[in-house]
Amino acid sequence: MHIPATLVRGGTSKCWLFSQVHVPTDRSALEKLLVAAYGSTDPVELDGVGGATPTTSKAAVVGVSPAPGVDVDYLFAQIGIGTGTIEWTSNCGNCATGIALYAVAKGLVPISGDRTRVVMRNSNTGAVMEGVVDTTGGVVHHFGDQTVPGTRAGGVAVGLTFLSPAGSTTGSLLPTGRAAEELRLGTAEPHQVTMVDAGAPVVLVDARGAGRSGAESLEQVRADVPWLRAVRHAAAPLMGLLTPGQEPGDAVPKVGLVGPPVPYTTTLGEPVAAEDYDVSVRMLTMNAPHPAIGLTSAVAVAAAGLLKDTVVSRAAGGPTGEWLRLGTPAGVVAVRCSDPRDGVPDRVTVQRAARLLADARIYVPESGARKAA
Amino acid sequence: MHIPATLVRGGTSKCWLFSQVHVPTDRSALEKLLVAAYGSTDPVELDGVGGATPTTSKAAVVGVSPAPGVDVDYLFAQIGIGTGTIEWTSNCGNCATGIALYAVAKGLVPISGDRTRVVMRNSNTGAVMEGVVDTTGGVVHHFGDQTVPGTRAGGVAVGLTFLSPAGSTTGSLLPTGRAAEELRLGTAEPHQVTMVDAGAPVVLVDARGAGRSGAESLEQVRADVPWLRAVRHAAAPLMGLLTPGQEPGDAVPKVGLVGPPVPYTTTLGEPVAAEDYDVSVRMLTMNAPHPAIGLTSAVAVAAAGLLKDTVVSRAAGGPTGEWLRLGTPAGVVAVRCSDPRDGVPDRVTVQRAARLLADARIYVPESGARKAA
């Protein structure tokens, strides 16, 4: 069989987008189809369209939303690499910027002048986002000059705002009720962590307390994957992310190190001074170092920065303001928190870029499972 | 701009195929277009359709051939990853199997019963190959059950035969006139190597003499990339592959280690016994360990096996026969040498599988270079 799909780059992620009308609604049939389309039983995703890295092995199913005030719903799929399984529990902000551009380009949302607003709902988490797509001249653009840290390539400018992001998964900004606390793994010294739910549920480790800087190279972070994964697994039940008896997965909570600003060099070789940003962040994406930062994680870090005594505000030297500049391996990502209600931001915005890379018809083996057995 | 293209898997390679009628014939304009389409100025090929590994960052331009007896000509492009440049000097046998299937599927060659023969000429090297595509029932198939070592995924069976492969690049099977010789790098002990031109120009190092087995893991081969690269660069002028003043590149000659059969485990975790194959081979693809073996390299190893006193026949315990079984990291690849003339095989055949993965319209930034600057 074959199925239409569009490959988009959103910020630092690549994601194939499928129209809801072309794929099964049954989750298990959909999973089987995507696994076969991506060739994801194979660690290099050779027999399919997967990119074989966590940031290039993503998919989303997009459709017009029945909800009032929402333009499109999308179901996000983090396609496992070599596992033949899919993580359905998380959101991807970078993909959302691509979905906003796609919604305009495919006519799911009418163009309104020079900037077109697309309200999107992530079906996995319930998160609602607003994408403002550059439609200068009242037309859709396929190319542009807006860049994001992590690539020199230009794309179409998309401002992405997370609406009322606090507690969208667990019901509260601080699921444990504490700004920071000790998390003990086995018999080792405990880590100072902040568990926060804004954009996504995230556990942030105080880098200095763990003998780290938070400004490590990707190679250094790779060596820390096992214990950061243990932190994720220890935090998951404390954040109320597991049903009784359920094993922790590798998609939620997101996990990373946070430290004070120090000079470092980006993966593209550009020097960054300590005064260029406010806090250092090194996140994982699944079980690999994130080359930049997931936008949902950026929202969580920014929301935690506004609060006293979190791992973030301590690293920044005190609670942060409307703008927070995150030092990521790819460069500095600026996040804006606005419309505060009781100290919680109602809008958290990042300026991004997206591009349609290809429109395709993907050939999917009828029975991926059988052929791959 | 946008441009039609088809993503194929041929054996263990992924390759985008472009029709000659849709791309510029001017080499520099074509290079600019492909670099922009693949996002290849970036080491992760984020802003394009590249797969960011040597075996998934390939392209070919295919067209009906004007040459008598040849069905299609194709120009192969090994797209540099993070370099923004393209290697134009080599061929890719795995891609050729995908091109044979594509030629049938796109109607460039009429279907003839249950098996359709496609004669292909590689414009880069002049090599001529015959692909025999499974067209059971007189129709093109998009899916099949044929597998190759390195993936459990099935594809359409394609038998690939290299026609008169000896000396296709340099004019002779043994460009230096010797079955084996010493190659000295700096002041270190010399290596025993065989320089052979069949399918592709290849320099094969005697693994045991170099303190290796030839059955190393990919991780171990990775550690050997620097000196294997030095072997390639030292061999290039001896094989007549450089014009005066030209620096050696990383595509030709292909380079690898050859040793006697020993038990090992494939990258898919399958045990291979010493009696299951004849010689161990570990090749590079550009500057990375090849996950399996390039088919052009397989042809060269098989041709060298037929000759006395080469690195290959010594590892096999004597000159090899019609069939040679190569132990590669992905598993055993069997090569058949037939129609010998003066000890040189006129036909060298491998049984492979190919699949069309997607038909696409790729959006290419008008000025890739400017946008990426």
Rounded percentage of chain A residues whose pLDDT exceeds 70: 98
Q: Which residues contact B24 (CB under 8 A, 6 or more apart)?
A: B30, B33
Q: Are residues B319 and B364 in the same domain?
A: no
Which residue of chain B is at minimal alpha-carbon distance from A372?
B153
The pLDDT tens digits for B25-50 are 999 999 999 999 999 999 999 999 99
Please report where in the chains the tokens 């045991």 appear, as a residue: B208
Q: Are residues B117 and B195 in the same domain?
A: no
Q: Are residues A281 and A305 in the same domain?
A: yes
Q: Are residues A32 and A160 in the same domain?
A: yes
Phi, psi of A76 (to 5 degrees): -95, 140
The pLDDT tens digits for B229-259 are 999 999 999 999 998 889 998 889 999 999 9
The radius of gyration of chain B's CA atoms, rounded to the nearest angstrom, is: 20
Question: Is residue A347 assigned to a domain?
Answer: no
**Which ranges constitute the DSSP H helices of chain A?**
27-38, 93-105, 218-238, 295-305, 311-315, 368-372
Encoding tokens for residue A259? 């430290």
Q: How many CB atoms lie within 10 A of CB B325?
A: 18
The pLDDT tens digits for B175-229 are 999 999 999 998 888 999 999 999 999 999 999 999 999 999 999 999 999 999 9
Higher pLDDT: B358 or A168? It is: B358
Question: Is residue A350 assigned to a domain?
Answer: no
Read off the pLDDT of each residue in A132-156 and give the average, rounded to a whole number.
95
Q: Are residues A215 and A97 in the same domain?
A: no
Angle between helices A295-305 and A93-105 (to 10 degrees): 120
Phi, psi of B331 (to 5 degrees): 140, -170
Predicted confidence (pLDDT) at residue A139 exceeds the cutoff of 80: yes
Chain A hits for B155, Cβ within 8 Å? 47
Read off the pLDDT of each residue in A55-59 and give the average, rounded to a whole number.
97
CB B373 within 8 A of CB B24: no
A232 at interface of B, judged by CB pairs closer than 8 A:
no
Q: For the residues of B151-187, what is the DSSP string, one character each? A: ----BEEEEEEEES-BTTTTSSSSTTS-SSEEE--TT
Of A5, A44, A152, the CB nearest to B372: A152
Of B46, B145, B150, the CB nearest to A12: B46
What is the pLDDT confidence band of residue A371, given thresholds at 50, 70 and 90? very low
Question: Is residue B173 assigned to a domain?
Answer: no
Plot region of A353 (φ>0 → left; ψ -120 to 50 → alpha; else → beta): beta
Predicted confidence (pLDDT) at residue B297 exceeds the cutoff of 60: yes
Question: Is residue B358 assigned to a domain?
Answer: yes
Question: Is residue A304 assigned to a domain?
Answer: yes
- Helix (H) or strand (E) run with residue B104 in it: helix B93-105
Chain B closest-CA separation from residue A172 CA (Å) = 35
**CA distances in angstroms from A116 to A11, A71, A352, listed in the order given:** 18, 12, 15
Question: Is residue A173 assigned to a domain?
Answer: no
Read off the pLDDT of each residue in B78-87 and give the average, rounded to a whole number.
96
Contact B46 A56 (CB under 8 A): yes
Domain range for B259 is: 181-341
Distance separating alpha carbons of residues B322 and B100, to the nearest angstrom: 25
Quote the distance between the C-alpha of residue B294 and its chain's center: 3
pLDDT of residue A341: 84
Chain B hits for A356, Cβ within 8 Å? 363
**CA distances in angstroms from A332 to A155, A255, A263, A282, listed in the order given:** 18, 19, 12, 12
Contact B42 A153 (CB under 8 A): yes
pLDDT of residue A343: 77
Encoding tokens for residue B179? 């079955």
Contact B39 A356 (CB under 8 A): no
Cis ω for the linkage preceding A253 (within 30 of 0): yes
Number of domains in chain B: 2
Pairing of strands A13-19, A58-64: parallel
Phi, psi of B340 (to 5 degrees): -70, 140
- Helix (H) or strand (E) run with residue B278 in it: none
Q: Are residues B81 and B110 in the same domain?
A: yes
Predicted confidence (pLDDT) at residue B373 exceeds the cutoff of 70: no
User: Which SS3 state, helix, strand or coil, does residue B92 take?
Assistant: coil
In terms of Cβ atoms closer than 10 Å to its own Cβ (0-12, 13-18, 19+), residue A247 is: exposed
pLDDT of residue A244: 86
pLDDT of residue B214: 97
pLDDT of residue B369: 39
Q: Are residues B152 and B234 in the same domain?
A: no
pLDDT of residue B342: 81
- What does chain A come to in residues? 373
The pLDDT tens digits for A233-273 are 999 999 999 988 899 988 899 999 999 999 999 998 999 99
CATH number at residue B31: 3.10.310.10
The pLDDT tens digits for A314-341 are 999 999 999 999 999 999 999 999 998 8
Cross-strand partners of A132: A117, A159
Question: Is residue B153 assigned to a domain?
Answer: yes
Read off the pLDDT of each residue in A50-72 and give the average, rounded to a whole number.
97
Distance separating alpha carbons of residues A221 and B222, to the nearest angstrom: 21
Contact B361 A358 (CB under 8 A): yes
Q: What is the mean pLDDT of chain B?
A: 95
Pairing of strands A58-64, B72-79: unpaired
Of B51, B145, B362, the CB nearest to A357: B362
pLDDT of residue A367: 60
User: Which SS3 state, helix, strand or coil, does residue A161 take?
Assistant: strand
pLDDT of residue A368: 43
Please name which of A132, A105, A100, A98 lies closest in space to residue A13, comparing C-alpha atoms: A98
pLDDT of residue A168: 85
Q: Output DSSP code: residue A59.
A: E
pLDDT of residue A373: 33
Distance separating alpha carbons of residues B258 and B251, to the nearest angstrom: 19
A341 at interface of B, judged by CB pairs closer than 8 A:
no
Encoding tokens for residue B166? 């000896």
Q: Output DSSP code: residue A146.
A: B
User: Which SS3 state, helix, strand or coil, does residue A228 take?
Assistant: helix
pLDDT of residue B131: 98
pLDDT of residue A370: 39
Q: Are residues B44 and B138 in the same domain?
A: yes
Q: What is the mean pLDDT of chain A?
A: 95
Predicted confidence (pLDDT) at residue A342 exceeds the cutoff of 90: no
Predicted confidence (pLDDT) at residue B316 exceeds the cutoff of 60: yes
Cis ω for the linkage preceding B226 (within 30 of 0): no
A219 at interface of B, judged by CB pairs closer than 8 A:
no
Q: Are residues B240 and B261 in the same domain?
A: yes
Read off the pLDDT of each residue in B278-284 and give the average, rounded to a whole number.
98
**CA distances in angstroms from A281 to A196, A215, A333, B280, B334, listed in the order given:** 15, 7, 10, 45, 50
Encoding tokens for residue B368? 């890739």
What is the pLDDT confidence band of residue B261, given thresholds at 50, 70 and 90? very high
Q: Are residues B327 and B366 in the same domain?
A: no
Q: Are residues A194 and A337 in the same domain?
A: yes
Distance separating alpha carbons of residues B134 and B138, to the nearest angstrom: 9
Question: Is residue A43 assigned to a domain?
Answer: yes
**CA distances in angstroms from A26 to A23, A81, A369, B51, B256, listed in the order given:** 9, 22, 17, 30, 48
Q: Are residues B133 and B188 in the same domain?
A: no
